[in-house]
């Protein structure tokens, strides 16, 4: 039988294909296989919160994936780390403790380090949009803690931040499997903290982070407005930084533009190297399409690749999603992948994306993007902080929904249709100028299209 690590790794790879990447990193990255027998697998999870959520939401999916990988049925169970290693603090695993005094079991094996082997430097396409971030990432991978610390990668949704973080981790582990590396999203960090506080068990929380050699925290913008988590992250960061351990962070915003993040944290973020990833140009997108198709053992004609690259404007995750649809559609219908088929798939794809745009979702997403209340969007308040988001939301309703002008006005607490026309004109101009507000609008469109609107 395969080792539990290999079986679990295969299972995770399949899960990752089937769940959104945010859920994957929040719920699955911190898990690891505890015991595998002939007919059961016990998976260790950080705490009861994870246990209940995984049990409720993912047990069925994980069970069926697991059984597709083994010859005999395997019963899947979750146990918290405390249940797996009740005596850990005392006498557990003495042999290991002797040789590696501080090493916690979960970090000794690269398989358990939560770095996803799927994302590496060799399948990352470098173009002018990401050249700088890529160079910085390779430098850090080759000389952890000696070049840029922290490395802060920022860029819009789906542009390769997570990919680069894992690529650094994989390169480090390939050279030397020993370092204690942990990748997690800021969301997982927050969940872990909340649970530890609830259990009044901060020492073990700190033990999970402070002995690390390398810490990756993805989507750090999630910490905005979460003061207690920021404080704890600040201590974790300092502890690692001061003992010359590498920290790599990602965010969808430049540190300075991160509202509701404490100044001392922001200045920490900027104290190493800040590298951005921009929207890729057409050639880079085409190269990425070829690379992704290759990973699926498919070859894509050039006109199809160019068509995809020119129709999917900004988001590489979406580019990939679209490509997968084309591959799947061609295989279901036994048609070859050509321009005609691609155009058919695009129609449906665009329809699917646009159905996410409803007035309440637009209003809610814009409000949360700018950290204001939905009720403010509908109010008569005219300060800039409120009126700009309101105009953006009106613009999006006009562009993406079938509402009439008066209907749109009504969605905003009974505004006149001329106000909607004015907002639409103003925003069209702003978007064409492509300044920072125009970029924000594009980010909001991305969020709604990809369904990330909570
Ligand atoms: P982000 O974390 O910035 O939202 P991801 O790293 O999750 O984006 O990237 C989204 C998808 O696009 C992933 O499947 C990733 O492999 C792919 N991708 C992004 N940039 C590149 C690139 N330069 N080369 C190859 N694939 C890329
Ligand atoms: Mg990401």
**Superfamily of structural domain 354-450:** DnaA protein, C-terminal DNA-binding domain (1.10.1750.10)
3-state secondary structure 150-219: CEEEEECCCCCHHHHHHHHHHHHHHHCCCCCEEEEEHHHHHHHHHHHHHCCCHHHHHHHHCCCCEEEEEC
Q: Which two tokens stand for residue 297?
A: 């053992």
Dist. CA 292 → ligand 2 center (Å): 17
277-290 mean pLDDT: 95
| pLDDT of 436 strictly over 90 | no
Which residue owns the Cα nearest ligand 1 atom 9?
Answer: 160
Dist. CA 327 → ligand 2 center (Å): 24
How high is the pLDDT of residue 454? 63
Q: Which two tokens stand for residue 424?
A: 């639409």
Between 1-15, 191-205, 388-402, the lowest mean confidence (pLDDT) is in 1-15
Query: What is the distance between the alpha carbons of residues 451 and 354, in angstroms, rounded to a whole number?
Result: 10
Which residue owns the Cα nearest ligand 1 atom 4?
Answer: 158
Fold of 282-350: Helicase, Ruva Protein; domain 3 (1.10.8)
How high is the pLDDT of residue 71? 82
Name the DSSP letter for residue 30: T
Dist. CA 143 → ligand 2 center (Å): 23
How high is the pLDDT of residue 173? 93
Fold of 121-277: Rossmann fold (3.40.50)
Dist. CA 165 → ligand 2 center (Å): 9
Could you write out the DSSP letters of every residue in 327-364? HHHHHHHT----HHHHHHHHHHHHHHHHTT--HHHHHH
> Mind listing the pLDDT tens digit for each residue in 201-215?
999 999 999 999 999
CA angle 400, 403, 404 (to 5 degrees): 125
* Ligand 2 ion local residues (Cβ < 5 A): 161-162
Query: What is the distance between the alpha carbons of residues 45 and 53, in angstroms, rounded to a whole number?
Result: 11
Minimum-distance ligand 1 atom for the alpha carbon of 130: 23
Between 98-112, 155-169, 172-186, the lowest mean confidence (pLDDT) is in 98-112
- Confirm if 119 and 167 have CB atoms less than 8 A apart: yes
Q: Spelled out in words, what is the top-level CATH class assigned to the domain 4-91?
A: alpha beta
Return the domain boundaries, the chain: 4-91, 121-277, 282-350, 354-450
> Mind listing the pLDDT tens digit for each residue in 215-254?
999 999 999 889 999 999 999 999 999 999 999 999 998 9
Q: Who lines ligand 1 at CB under 6 A? A: 21, 119, 123-125, 130, 155, 157-163, 288, 291, 316-317, 320
Dist. CA 356 → ligand 1 center (Å): 22
């Amino acid at each position: 039988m395969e080792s539990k690590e290999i079986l679990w790794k295969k299972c995770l790879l399949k899960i990752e294909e089937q769940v959104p990447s945010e859920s994957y990193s929040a719920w699955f990255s911190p898990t690891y296989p505890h015991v595998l027998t002939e007919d059961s697998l016990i998976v260790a999870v950080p705490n009861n919160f994870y246990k209940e959520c995984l049990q409720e939401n993912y047990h069925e999916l994980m069970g069926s994936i697991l059984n597709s990988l083994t010859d005999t049925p395997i019963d899947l169970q979750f146990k918290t780390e405390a249940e797996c290693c009740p005596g850990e603090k005392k006498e557990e695993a003495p042999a290991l403790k002797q040789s590696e005094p501080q090493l916690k079991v979960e970090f000794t094996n690269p398989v358990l380090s939560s770095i996803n082997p799927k994302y590496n430097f060799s399948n990352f396409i470098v173009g002018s949009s990401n050249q700088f971030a890529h160079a910085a990432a390779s430098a850090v991978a080759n000389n952890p803690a000696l070049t840029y610390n922290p490395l802060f990668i920022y860029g819009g949704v789906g542009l390769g931040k997570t990919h680069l973080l894992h690529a650094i981790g994989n390169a480090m582990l390939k050279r030397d499997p020993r370092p204690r590396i942990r990748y997690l999203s800021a969301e997982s960090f927050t969940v872990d903290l909340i649970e530890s506080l609830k259990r009044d068990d901060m020492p073990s929380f700190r033990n999970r982070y402070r002995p690390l050699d390398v810490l990756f925290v993805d989507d750090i913008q999630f910490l905005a407005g979460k003061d207690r988590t920021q404080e704890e992250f600040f201590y974790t960061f300092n502890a690692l930084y001061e003992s010359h351990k590498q920290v790599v962070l990602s965010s969808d915003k430049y540190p300075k533009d991160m509202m509701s993040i404490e100044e001392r944290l922001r200045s920490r973020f900027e104290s190493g190297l800040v590298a951005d990833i921009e929207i890729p140009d057409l050639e880079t997108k085409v190269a990425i399409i070829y690379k992704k198709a290759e990973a699926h053992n498919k070859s894509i004609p050039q006109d199809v690749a160019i068509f995809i690259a020119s129709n999917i404007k900004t988001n590489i995750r979406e580019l990939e999603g679209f490509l997968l649809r084309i591959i799947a559609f061609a295989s279901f219908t036994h048609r070859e992948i050509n321009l005609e088929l691609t155009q058919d798939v695009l129609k449906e794809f665009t329809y699917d994306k646009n159905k996410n745009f409803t007035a309440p979702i637009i209003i809610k997403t814009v409000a949360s993007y700018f950290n204001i209340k939905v009720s403010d969007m509908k109010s008569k308040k005219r300060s800039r902080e409120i009126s700009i988001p309101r105009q953006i939301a009106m613009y999006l309703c006009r562009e993406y929904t079938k509402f009439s002008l008066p209907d749109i006005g009504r969605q905003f607490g009974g505004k006149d249709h001329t106000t909607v026309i004015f907002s639409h004109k103003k925003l069209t101009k702003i978007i064409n100028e492509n300044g920072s507000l125009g970029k924000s609008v594009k980010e909001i469109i991305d969020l709604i299209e990809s369904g990330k609107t909570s």
